[in-house]
Amino acid sequence: MSTPPDKIMERSVDNVQRIYAVVIALAISQAIQSLLKNPNGTTLDLSQVPAGLPSFIAFLVTLVPFWQGMNRHLDRSYLEKRAGVVQRALLLDFVVFFLEAIFLFAAGWYIKSDIKTFYWLGGLLVIDMAWGAASHYIHFPGTKSHVVKWLVINVCAIAIAVLVIEYPFQHKQFVLMVVAIVRSLADYGFCGDFYLPSSSDVRP
């Protein structure tokens, strides 16, 4: 007995999500290790505030919407659509998501390296913006989308982050952390029905 096509696609999407989950888990593990380990390999004294805490918080608040957004994109594009599913685009999604997961891993690696984590998070946003615009054109041409609002949010966040990095002052990590937090809050605030749809809000 042959497997129904919808079940084949469901299994393919599930496999992509599993691979992405593994790399994301490694990124989180690396970020925690980077935060709690001193350069000489000794364990950090937890009675002190870890030096890379702002970078770690920025890492987490950026990772969560990326993780949730990836899963929502796969569900909407391949499982919830009634027609016009572009199956071959799943390979593109896999490549981009895997690359983004590597950027998250690198961001976690450099938690204590001044502001290098934020460079990797910025690169992550740039890659995701390019992919998001292309992906909407592939999967939902001619329809309304959260992509425009999401692009505006990310462009503003990157522009502010660049100004913070270029302007000479201390405690840049804390300011960049605030930028990351506000960016994610705006993401959920303006695109909440994408991330957290109601049971009746299944749409192309």
DSSP state of 49: -
Amino acid code (one letter) for 106: A
Q: Is residue 114 part of a domain?
A: yes
Top pLDDT among 48 and 33 is at: 33
Show the domain range for 41.
5-195
Q: Is residue 201 part of a domain?
A: no
Provide the number of structural domains found in the chain: 1
Nearest in space to 107 (alpha carbons), one of 16, 34, 176: 34
| 194 in Cβ contact with 204 (< 8 Å) | no
Q: Is residue 27 part of a domain?
A: yes
Q: What pLDDT score was predicted for residue 55?
A: 94
| 73 in Cβ contact with 194 (< 8 Å) | no
Question: What pLDDT digit, counting tens, does each position of 143-170 carry?
Answer: 777 778 888 899 999 999 999 999 888 8
Alpha helices in 37-80 (DSSP H): 53-74
| 57 in Cβ contact with 179 (< 8 Å) | no
Amino acid code (one letter) for 188: Y
User: Residue 73: CB partners within 8 Å, gap ≥ 6?
Assistant: 93, 135
| 86 in Cβ contact with 139 (< 8 Å) | yes
| 80 in Cβ contact with 194 (< 8 Å) | no
Q: Is residue 202 part of a domain?
A: no
- Which residues make beta-bridge pairs with 127? none
| 118 in Cβ contact with 176 (< 8 Å) | yes
Q: Is residue 200 part of a domain?
A: no
d(CA 80, CA 73): 10
Q: What pLDDT score was predicted for residue 96?
A: 92
Q: Is residue 146 part of a domain?
A: yes
Question: What pLDDT digit, counting tens, does each position of 21-32 carry?
Answer: 899 999 999 999
Q: What pLDDT score was predicted for residue 201?
A: 54
| 185 in Cβ contact with 65 (< 8 Å) | no
Question: What pLDDT digit, counting tens, does each position of 71-117 carry?
Answer: 888 888 888 877 788 888 899 999 999 999 999 999 999 998 889 99
d(CA 34, CA 27): 10
Q: Is residue 173 part of a domain?
A: yes
Q: Is residue 167 part of a domain?
A: yes
